[in-house]
A and B are shown apart, each in its own frame.
Chain A
Amino acid sequence: DAMVIQNPRYQVTQFGKPVTLSCSQTLNHNVMYWYQQKSSQAPKLLFHYYDKDFNNEADTPDNFQSRRPNTSFCFLDIRSPGLGDAAMYLCATSRDLPGLATSYEQYFGPGTRLTVT
């Protein structure tokens, strides 16, 4: 039973052509995250939503935007992809943020592998 679903699993886009990655969850969790992961590197947080409250990391490029139209869905928009944006994009959820609840665990989707040509 998939809990965090990402579509598509593989995405090829052209340099500068906008692309949207999607994430959905069946867990009804409050928090959704987007990470970028390049080969052999740690996942890098781009932003997260706590419910509808959007939180952008200070070093996330303006080229990256996100939308969360409802609890279940969250989108990552890359307005003008560059070659350096080729990576695995991971979506994750958690019921709450640590420190606010005693029970916290992140659940990840399978990821979307983005190739920029």
Chain B
Amino acid sequence: KQEVTQIPAALSVPEGENLVLNCSFTDSAIYNLQWFRQDPGKGLTSLLLIQSSQREQTSGRLNASLDKSSGRSTLYIAASQPGDSATYLCAAASGGSYIPTFGRGTSLIVHP
């Protein structure tokens, strides 16, 4: 059974910093990995989707990488802004069920 872990659980950084969020998964036979953003009391917004055949995806200030052999994905946020404050979740789809398994997320605060 796939297990997804996100470390750290919470992160507070000053505005302008580059930062990395980590996502680890136990079953390396994944189909894809998706990163989401969740604002308090809201639904999830998709940020980036990485297929198993890909190594990374980029969107604006966001870059997500995937290393299946080590069971890791990272989300890199460049030049962080207060508006980036949210919880970031990753989800790995693997196994016969094809259904994504979510991590608990990293709660990010970017202070001015």
Contacts and interface: CB of A to CB of B under 8 A. Distances in A.
Asked if A pairs with B, the answer is yes
Interface of A: 4, 6, 33, 40-43, 45, 48, 88, 90, 92, 97-100, 102, 104-111, 113
A100 B99 CA distance: 12
A40 B38 CA distance: 11
Contacts of B51: 102
B89 interface: yes
Contacts of A43: 44, 89, 102
Contacts of A100: 98
B58 interface: no
A107 B46 CA distance: 7
Contact of B31 (A33, A45, A99): A99
Given A42-B105, A98-B93, A106-B34, A48 B99 contact: yes
Contacts, number: 60
A97 B43 CA distance: 20
A100 B43 CA distance: 26
Interface string B70-112: 0000000000000000000101010000111011110100000
A110 B43 contact: yes
Nearest to A48: B99
B42 A41 contact: no
B45 interface: yes
A100 to B, nearest CB: 7
B46 A41 contact: no
Interface string B44-56: 1110010100000
A50 B60 CA distance: 33
Nearest to A110: B43
B32 interface: yes
Nearest to B87: A40
B53 to A, nearest CB: 8
Given A48-B99, A92-B44, A111-B43, 10 more contacts: A42-B89, A43-B44, A97-B93, A97-B99, A98-B98, A105-B46, A108-B43, A108-B44, A108-B46, A111-B42
